[in-house]
Amino acid sequence: MLTVLVRRLANVIPTLFAIVAVVFLLFSVLPGSFISAMNEDGRGMIDPAVMERMRKEMGLDDPLIERFGKYVGHLAIGDLGNSFRTKEPVTKLIGDRLWPSLKLVLAAMLFAIVIGVPLGFIAALKPGSVTDATSMVVAISGLSLPKFWLGLMLMYLFALQLKLLPSFGYGDGGLTHLTLPAIALGVSPMALLARTTRAAVLDVLNADFVRTARSKGMSEPRVVTWHVMRNALVLVITTIGLQFGSLMGQAVVVEKLFAWPGVGSLLVDSVFQRDVPAVQGCILLIVLFFLAINTLIDLAYVAIDPRIRYA
Amino acid sequence: MKLRTNLLVGGGLVGLAIVVAILAPWIQITDPVLDANLMNAEIPPGADFPFGTDQQGRDIYSRIVHGARISLTVGLVSQIANTIIGVTLGLTAGYWGGLWDDLVSGVTNLMLAIPSLIFALAIMAILGPGLVSLLIALGLTNWSYSCRIARAQVLSLKSQGYVQAARILGYGDLRIMFTQLLPNMLGPLIVIATLGMGGSILAEAALSFLGLGIRPPYPSWGSMLSEARDQITTAPWLSVFPGLAIFLTVLGLNLLGDGLRDILDPQSQERRA
């Protein structure tokens, strides 16, 4: 287990470094620097002298390599810089948003797993049946729905018409405020999970060891739980991991729609406020989350499937 | 049976979207941008305006019909760009191997680690809103799947007899790649591009919804929805129809992609992006 972890980290760290470089360069060398964009935005012309001073204050005139070195140096001690807008440390801004984001992503994933896995499972047990066809229609529709539109429709139906749930906001962070955004975010991973589970189970159902188990007289429920489920699990868990990891990025639109105070809405707001350190921080966090989840999933493989060994 | 349904429904929906996009100026009722008339503001769907009108009195149906042009352009152009980048990199990396292969694989993994919507959002933040920025942002950020598929295909094809034969005949590397290898991997690539188009259309809608894509007054389905949000209590039809248009177009592309996969790429069960 430990060697797997070390190996993964050896892989992740260069990736992470490259991503830091990409995120830094994207916002540093490309045309349309944020300050000139502020000017073009029509939100008031900025005096060239003021612009010059702003550039100097933000250290934008130093050589690129020096700025990059500084950025990485600060990053290494967990300093993401200060927000251009509020002057607070970006780590604090993000820290305040982290828990709401995690809560939303976890709830969405829970919804996806609880609905998606059984749906795919039931579909696979009777391929070609009406149940199968129906679940796959549900799945492909789920993959084609724009999340924010689904959210908007849920909001209209459950909040504005039926008045069952609050239409937006965080409230006390409880279940009533969480439900609609979590469903809006969870439908596409649910759909993907249903499809993957179905494919994985169908694959395993045709395997030799399942035929052997059946022919030695093992009861069908036992075959399904002991042999099929366990073996289909690897693929299902991979999908769960990939989806879970990317969900924080996907949450951006849903958070914005429901005015959910997460990292995603901080990212969008910061983009509009031209707050470069905050934008960089949010993107790095989202990517870090993705990489961390993937590393955990790799470790989980080893625990689930003893055949997987990283030589 | 199922195979036909996929292709038929998917092809039908995509065909409809294409026809609507092409015919937009002829089937519109009013001009989608200019014909604002406050006398007609927020009329529910009815005989004069089949999908109703918005807060400025513009006909939603005409705006949706024109929105199809934006969505399909973004989907098609960005996916062509992604496919060209992905195939060129994947083909050469798989064929030449070595250091180039390591480099391409490294960059591909890097691209996979950044959620593509976030990457596109970052690029839009820098380039500013607009169609051209959207094409750049979405055309450069989603090629990793076609790259991986092209590379994997080359690795399995390059030891085949006909490739050896081509080499003995004195074909150059590029000629082998593009005349011998590429035609034999088109199936999976078309499938991934079709599914990717759906993804691009969803991404365009999301970015426009956030205000970073196509800006009002231009009738992108996503930007229509972002305007509609504030009117959802008084004029819910503003939110219903543009979303339905996105859903049906993307559903069509996904069904078409699935159907094509059954025909063109029977080995792969689940190679979904």
Q: Are residues A107 and A80 in the same domain?
A: no
Backbone dihedral angles phi then psi of residue B69, each to the nearest 5 degrees: -60, -45
Rounded distance, CA A17 to CA A245, Å? Answer: 19
Q: Is residue B16 part of a domain?
A: no
Q: Are residues A189 and A255 in the same domain?
A: yes
Of A71, A90, A109, which marks where a domain is finished?
A: A90
H or E element, residue A53: helix A48-57
For residue A263, give the CATH number of its domain: 1.10.3720.10
Q: Is residue B79 part of a domain?
A: yes
Rounded distance, CA B189 to CA B183, Å? Answer: 10
DSSP state of B229: G
Residue of A144, A157, A187 to mutate, testing the B interface (most B Cβ within 10 Å of its Cβ): A144
- Interface A-B, measured as beta-carbon pairs within 8 A, has a size of 132
pLDDT tens readout for residues B155-179: 888 888 888 888 888 888 888 888 8
Q: How many domains does chain A have?
A: 2
- pLDDT band for A40, please (50, 70, 90 cuts): low
Structure tokens at B204: 């365009």
pLDDT tens readout for residues B59-97: 888 889 998 999 999 999 999 999 999 999 999 999 888
Instruction: Kindly determine whether residue A196 and residue B212, on different chains, have CB atoms separated by under 8 Å.
Output: no
| Residue A260 pLDDT | 92
Q: Is the pLDDT of residue B272 over 50?
A: no
Q: Is residue A311 part of a domain?
A: no
Q: Is the pLDDT of residue A234 over 50?
A: yes
Q: Are residues A16 and A122 in the same domain?
A: no
Q: Is residue A229 part of a domain?
A: yes
Structure tokens at A81: 């810089």
- pLDDT band for B19, please (50, 70, 90 cuts): very high
Q: Is the pLDDT of residue A58 over 50?
A: yes
For residue B133, give the CATH number of its domain: 1.10.3720.10
Mean pLDDT of chain B: 86
Q: Is residue A310 part of a domain?
A: no
pLDDT tens readout for residues B217-251: 888 898 888 888 888 888 888 889 999 999 999 99
Of A90, A118, A146, which marks where a domain is finished?
A: A90
Q: Is the pLDDT of residue A1 over 80?
A: no
Q: Are residues A203 and A253 in the same domain?
A: yes
Length of chain B: 273
Q: Which of B113, B212, B236 sits opposite A19 (nearest CB)?
A: B113
Residue of B107, B114, B238 to mutate, testing the A interface (most A Cβ within 10 Å of its Cβ): B114
Buried b (16+ CB within 10 A) or exposed e, A200-210: bbbbbbeeeeb
| Phi-psi domain of A217 (left: phi exceeds 0; alpha: psi -120 through 50; beta: other) | left
| Residue B271 pLDDT | 41
Give the chain B residue nearest A236 (alpha carbons). Answer: B270
Residues in a beta bridge with B53 = B59
Backbone dihedral angles phi then psi of residue A281, each to the nearest 5 degrees: -60, -45
Of A90, A115, A142, which marks where a domain is finished?
A: A90
How far does A13 lie from chain B, in Å, by closest CA? 12
- pLDDT band for B273, please (50, 70, 90 cuts): very low
Query: E strands along A67-206, which residues?
Result: none
Buried b (16+ CB within 10 A) or exposed e, A115-137: bbbebbbbbbbeeeeeebeebbe
- pLDDT band for A277, please (50, 70, 90 cuts): confident
Q: Is the pLDDT of residue B147 over 90?
A: yes
| Residue A311 pLDDT | 42
Q: Is residue B101 part of a domain?
A: yes
| Residue A30 pLDDT | 54
Residue of B5, B237, B270, B271 to mutate, testing the A interface (most A Cβ within 10 Å of its Cβ): B270
| Residue B85 pLDDT | 95
| Residue A43 pLDDT | 52
| Residue A161 pLDDT | 84
Taking the Cβ of residue B111 and every Cβ of chain A, the question of whether any pair is shorter than 8 Å is answered with: no
Q: How many domains does chain B have?
A: 1
Q: Are residues A148 and A242 in the same domain?
A: yes
Structure tokens at B40: 């007609």
Q: Is the pLDDT of residue A308 over 80?
A: no
Taking the Cβ of residue B236 and every Cβ of chain A, the question of whether any pair is shorter than 8 Å is answered with: yes
Q: Is the pLDDT of residue A147 over 80?
A: yes
Mean pLDDT of chain A: 83
Q: Are residues A36 and A169 in the same domain?
A: no
| Residue B32 pLDDT | 76
Which structural domain, as residue segments, surrounds residue B74? Answer: 58-272
Q: Which residues of B touch A141 (CB under 8 A)?
A: 247, 251
Interface of B with A in 127-186 (CB under 8 A): 127-128
Residues in a beta bridge with A89 = A82
| CA dihedral of residues A283, A239, A259, A84 (deg, nearest 10) | -10
Q: Is residue A309 part of a domain?
A: no
Q: Which residues of A touch B110 (CB under 8 A)?
A: 15, 18-19, 22
| Residue B247 pLDDT | 95
Which structural domain, as residue segments, surrounds residue A9? Answer: 2-90
Q: Are residues A84 and A169 in the same domain?
A: no
ipTM (interface predicted TM):
0.86
Q: Are residues A162 and A63 in the same domain?
A: no
Backbone dihedral angles phi then psi of residue B142, each to the nearest 5 degrees: -135, 40
Q: Is residue A141 part of a domain?
A: yes
Taking the Cβ of residue B267 and every Cβ of chain A, the question of whether any pair is shorter than 8 Å is answered with: no
Structure tokens at A113: 């797993």
Q: Is the pLDDT of residue A52 over 90?
A: no
Give the chain A residue nearest B119 (alpha carbons). Answer: A283
Instruction: Kindly determine whether residue B126 and residue A153, on different chains, have CB atoms separated by under 8 Å.
Output: no
In sequence order, which ranges of B229-265 are alpha helices (DSSP H)? 237-264
CA atoms within 13 A on the CB side of A112: 33
Inter-residue contact A183 to A115 (CB < 8 Å): no
Q: Is the peptide bond before B217 cis (omega within 30 degrees of 0)?
A: yes
Q: Is residue A197 part of a domain?
A: yes
